[in-house]
Amino acid sequence: MFQVCVQAHFDAAHFIRNYDGKCANLHGHRWNVVVCIEGKQLDHLGMLIDFSEVKLTIRKVLKFLDHSLLNDLPSFGPDGVNPTAEHLAEFLFMKLKQDLVLSEKRLAWVKVYESPDTWAIFKED
Q: How does pLDDT run across 14-37, given as a tens digit for each residue?
A: 999 999 999 999 999 999 999 999
What pLDDT was estimated at residue 94?
Answer: 96
Domain carrying residue 35? 2-122
- Total domains in the chain come to 1
User: In which residue ranges of the chain is pLDDT below 50?
Assistant: none
Residues 43/124/90/100 CA torsion (nearest 10 deg): 20
What pLDDT was estimated at residue 121?
Answer: 98
Nearest to 114 by CA among 82, 94, 90, 89: 89
Helix, strand or coil for residue 8?
Answer: strand
Helix, strand or coil for residue 47?
Answer: coil
CB-count burial class (<10 Å; 0-12, 13-18, 19+) for 124: exposed
CATH (domain of 92):
3.30.479.10
